[in-house]
Structure 1
Amino acid sequence: MKLGLRAKLTLVALLLIGVAITAAFLFMRREVHSVLVDHMTRDLVTRAQLIADQVSEVQLPDDDVKDWDALADRLGKASKARVTLIAADGRVLGDSEVPTGDLAALENHSERPEVVEALSSGRGISERHSATIGQSQLYVAVPVQRMAPGGPKVARLSIELEEVEGALQTLEKGLLLASILGLAIAVLLASFAAKSLANTATHLTEVAERMADGDLTARARIRKEDELGPLGAGLDLLATNLSSTLDELTSERDKMSSILESMREG
């Protein structure tokens, strides 16, 4: 299938626009993901610090897992996040998403990156898959400043990153719709521009063909500022020069004919 100039120009424009929109879409998705996670992290840090302050004032025995877990459940509902209370040795004393009877089966949390960071620098942040609940989580841990010995030494909050994915999916739908609309408008404008260029090129071809057939009265008469304008002006100048040259040659021929005719009569 042979494509015309208009179709070729439209396809090239479509390809370039498509690549640009795809690149912009991927860039915006990455940036929005980063912004959302950063916002959620800062919010979670604030909530975690408030939780840690509340836990620091609670007086419960270190081994009273039932009450610590009940406290974690209440704090989880209030903060709308998963709350985990962790002892100095890494044992989980309470978790708002884990039944009390299952706490003893949980892995020791002393090596969790956010816990290690919280105890060493005052705040720990981590993003990973949770083996306990089977979902990707954003974790924020802060130390608990308790005067009494024992009890939780780290309060950790976490939220599902599905919230970020949900927000991204909503954004993607909006971006996709806007991209399709923008692409349609861009293709329409590109098609009009390609049509104008194709019509001008076709007109120049027709003028050149008429000149080649001997019609030196043909003129392009194009007054455009683009690349085709000088080409049309060049064709018009060529036709004018050829016409003048032909007129001069005709005049010379007529003169020679008159001289020869006079010589024959003499």
Structure 2
Amino acid sequence: MKKFRARLTLLFVLLIGVSVGVTGIFVARMLQYSHIEALITNMKRELGILQVTTDWNHGGSLQEQMRYYTDEAVKLKKTADARLTYVRSDGKVLGDSDHDPADMENHATRPEIVEAAKTGQSGSSIRYSDTIGRNLLYVAVPVKDKNQTIGYLRLAMELTEVEQSIRQVWFGLFVGLLVVFGVAGLISYRVAYGITRPIELITHAAQQITDMNYKYRVTVDKKDEVGQLGTAINRMADSLQLQMKRISENETRLKSVLENMISGVVMIDKDGRIGLMNRSAEEILGFSAQELLGKKFDEAKQQYEFTQMIQECIDAREHIRDEMIFYYPEERILEINLSPISETEEDWAGVLIVLHDITAMRRLERMRSEFVANVSHELKTPIAAVKGFAETLLAGALNDKETAKSFLQIIFDESERLNRLIGDILELSKVESKRIPLQFSPVLLNTLLANCLNVMKTEAKKKLIELELIAPEDLYMEADEDRLRQIMINLLSNGINYTPEGGKVKLKVEPVASGSEGKEADRIRFTISDTGIGIPKKDLPRIFERFYRVDKARSRSSGGTGLGLSIVKHLVELHQGTIRVESEVGIGSKFIIELPILH
């Protein structure tokens, strides 16, 4: 813009300078012309006077005539203050005030003589004199006798004064032009600045808007077209700022949605390069966005089947949905949706891939199926026993009282077992669905655990099993008292059931601190140990699964449902605690529970 302003200023200066210069040259030329015309007129007047006073019929030889006319020319020069020359009609110089006529050339071809002869009035000419080295003005008039030209009288005057005057005019013109150029330059700059400055501001504002500075505005006070343009730029900037704000808000929302989506999203552009990945996609595929963005999808170190599925979608340009097992970074089942992206019906833009991790859902489906199968199996056994013994009784066994009584006892026991199984299934269902609201309150552990041992005392006596409680007095924690009692009774009952006669079941409680030593206790550790048959190491990882039994025959004979430990585990987790088991076959088992003191 500064260059444009300089060019505009220069243009104004040149226009003004040329205009003034042309005018000055014209005036100087006119002044020169009028001055010379005035000299010619004066010289003609003087020649007219000299013509009257000159005797053109002087006789004698040519030398005598030359002397006569030369003397006359010298004498008259003092009066006319100019060089005077007498020229015969044939161009022969008869006399001259400054030179010897004998040495002078024929003047018939001199411009002023030729013009005077042609017009019959006068002739004039300006030319450089080699003799004196200056410009001279020559004026000649014909001398006539009876309408016949008998000669010419010529005056020559130096133009030194005229040239000096013209030089002064030119000097004044040059100085004037310099002044005019200076004044014109200042005025032109101000005019150019007034024109270009608003345009410069508008251009700068447009550049700022191009550089995404949508808060920049033009400050133009003019009301002309430039001011209207500035106002339009400001309105455009307001509109762009509003639109960009909306776009930014939408982009932030979309980015937030993408980043917080559970499903993985991957976008592949029309060149087959990975252009977008959200955080879930990084976790599912096991690669960061920095590692994959910009790479071709077939160079991204993905499973061959996955790569082939993407290629199939690109080739067919149709939606594809399938399930696939991925083994890296961990084994999981993914539902893959591939959708072609088209900007228009003809323009191909790429592929959008949505990955759903359905491992947990498939595991739940499998667990549900296994649960139904297990429940069906567990229900079938007591029902079959009840049905079989009832049919036997109906077939005539009622007549034998001892047999009938034995069969009815079995039916009663199986009914009890069926009742317990149904109760445990309902209880587990409530616990797993978290439909049991826990009521936390301060619990005195010593009292609670003593009551639990009293409940199990009768059952322990039957097998001569010793029950032992080790718990500090005045130890409190926040817990749901009923659910904590259920946990302890289940584990104590389990220990009694799997401990041979004369064995021992011990319950130990102690406060523990998480982290470094010396910190205040923040957890309570419950340890339920027995001297039972123990659990093989291969069964330890599955001990808390539903319906899982280490010794199925003994479990059924003891009346167990196979759901007790699963219920315990869920109740411990509802208390934000942990449970683990340690066991050796033939020595016994130890269940360790840690629960936070406060909730």
TM-score, with normalisation over the residues of structure 1? 0.72
SS of the aligned residue for 2:54 comes to helix
Give 1:75's aligned amino acid. L
Q: Which residue of 1 aligns with 2:85?
A: 84
- Summarize the Cα distance change of 1:155–1:244 in structure 2 as closer, same or farther, 3 Å threshold: same
Q: 2:134·2:158 contact (CA, 8 Å) conserved in 1?
A: yes
Q: Which residue of 1 aligns with 2:41?
A: 42
- Summarize the Cα distance change of 1:218–1:65 in structure 2 as closer, same or farther, 3 Å threshold: closer
SS of the aligned residue for 2:84 comes to strand
Match of 1:182 among 176, 180, 183: 180
Asked if residue 93 in structure 1 is aligned to residue 94 in structure 2, the reply is yes
Q: Which residue of 2 aligns with 1:260?
A: none
Give 1:107's aligned amino acid. E
Give 2:224's aligned amino acid. E
CA displacement at 1:59 relative to structure 2: 7.0
- Summarize the Cα distance change of 1:230–1:47 in structure 2 as closer, same or farther, 3 Å threshold: farther
Give the whole-Å Cα distance in 2 for the aligned partners of 1:204 and 1:113: 68
- Summarize the Cα distance change of 1:107–1:205 in structure 2 as closer, same or farther, 3 Å threshold: closer
Q: How many residues align?
A: 242
Give 2:49's aligned amino acid. L
Give 2:46's aligned amino acid. R
SS of the aligned residue for 2:154 comes to strand
Residue pairs, 1:216-235, within 5 angstroms: 218=217, 220-225=219-224, 228-235=226-233
SS of the aligned residue for 1:45 comes to helix
Misfit runs of 4+, over 6 Å: 243-247
- Summarize the Cα distance change of 1:239–1:120 in structure 2 as closer, same or farther, 3 Å threshold: closer
CA displacement at 1:96 relative to structure 2: 1.7
SS of the aligned residue for 1:110 comes to coil
Q: 2:85·2:154 contact (CA, 8 Å) conserved in 1?
A: yes
Q: Deviations 1:40-82 (Å, cap 9, x if unpaired)?
A: 22232222222212215x7744534333222212322212221
Give 2:140's aligned amino acid. A
Q: Which structure 1 segments of 5+ residues have no match? A: 254-266
- Summarize the Cα distance change of 1:80–1:197 in structure 2 as closer, same or farther, 3 Å threshold: same
Give 2:91's aligned amino acid. G
- Summarize the Cα distance change of 1:8–1:86 in structure 2 as closer, same or farther, 3 Å threshold: closer
- Larger mean CA deviation between 172-181 and 103-112 belongs to 103-112
SS of the aligned residue for 2:217 comes to coil
Give the whole-Å Cα distance in 2 for the aligned partners of 1:221 and 1:26: 43
Give the whole-Å Cα distance in 1 for the aligned partners of 2:200 and 2:41: 63
Asked if residue 66 in structure 1 is aligned to residue 63 in structure 2, the reply is no
Q: Which residue of 2 aligns with 1:259?
A: none
Give the whole-Å Cα distance in 2 for the aligned partners of 1:8 and 1:110: 58
- Summarize the Cα distance change of 1:153–1:239 in structure 2 as closer, same or farther, 3 Å threshold: same
Q: 1:146·1:153 contact (CA, 8 Å) conserved in 2?
A: no
Q: 1:55·1:144 contact (CA, 8 Å) conserved in 2?
A: no
Q: Deviations 1:11-42 (Å, cap 9, x if unpaired)?
A: 44344444445544544444444333333222
Q: Which residue of 1 aligns with 2:331?
A: none
Q: 2:125·2:139 contact (CA, 8 Å) conserved in 1?
A: yes
CA displacement at 1:178 relative to structure 2: 0.5
Give 1:35's aligned amino acid. S
CA displacement at 1:142 relative to structure 2: 1.1
- Summarize the Cα distance change of 1:51–1:175 in structure 2 as closer, same or farther, 3 Å threshold: same
Higher relative contact order (CA 8 A, sep 6+): 1
Residue pairs, 1:2-13, within 5 angstroms: 4-13=3-12
Give the whole-Å Cα distance in 2 for the aligned partners of 1:235 and 1:190: 27
CA displacement at 1:138 relative to structure 2: 2.0
Residue pairs, 1:239-254, within 5 angstroms: 239=237
Asked if residue 199 in structure 1 is aligned to residue 200 in structure 2, the reply is no
Q: Which residue of 1 aligns with 2:128?
A: 129
Identity score, percent: 30
Q: 1:211·1:218 contact (CA, 8 Å) conserved in 2?
A: no
Give the whole-Å Cα distance in 2 for the aligned partners of 1:210 and 1:131: 73
Q: Which residue of 2 aligns with 1:256?
A: none
Q: 2:214·2:238 contact (CA, 8 Å) conserved in 1?
A: no
Q: Which residue of 1 aligns with 2:76?
A: 75
- Summarize the Cα distance change of 1:165–1:54 in structure 2 as closer, same or farther, 3 Å threshold: same
* TM-align CA RMSD: 3.6
Q: Deviations 1:71-126 (Å, cap 9, x if unpaired)?
A: 2123222122211112334332321222xxx2222122234332243344322223
Give the whole-Å Cα distance in 2 for the aligned partners of 1:3 and 1:219: 18
CA displacement at 1:198 relative to structure 2: 3.9
CA displacement at 1:210 relative to structure 2: 5.7
Higher helix proportion? 1
Give 2:171's aligned amino acid. K
Give the whole-Å Cα distance in 1 for the aligned partners of 2:111 and 2:58: 27
Q: 2:92·2:106 contact (CA, 8 Å) conserved in 1?
A: yes
CA displacement at 1:199 relative to structure 2: 3.0
SS of the aligned residue for 2:170 comes to helix
SS of the aligned residue for 1:144 comes to strand
Bigger Cα Rg: 2
- Summarize the Cα distance change of 1:222–1:107 in structure 2 as closer, same or farther, 3 Å threshold: same
Q: 2:214·2:240 contact (CA, 8 Å) conserved in 1?
A: no
Q: 2:198·2:220 contact (CA, 8 Å) conserved in 1?
A: no
Q: Which residue of 2 aligns with 1:169?
A: 167
SS of the aligned residue for 2:95 comes to strand
Q: 1:207·1:220 contact (CA, 8 Å) conserved in 2?
A: no
CA displacement at 1:158 relative to structure 2: 1.5
CA displacement at 1:179 relative to structure 2: 0.4
Give the whole-Å Cα distance in 2 for the aligned partners of 1:236 and 1:40: 71
- Summarize the Cα distance change of 1:52–1:9 in structure 2 as closer, same or farther, 3 Å threshold: same
Give 2:170's aligned amino acid. E
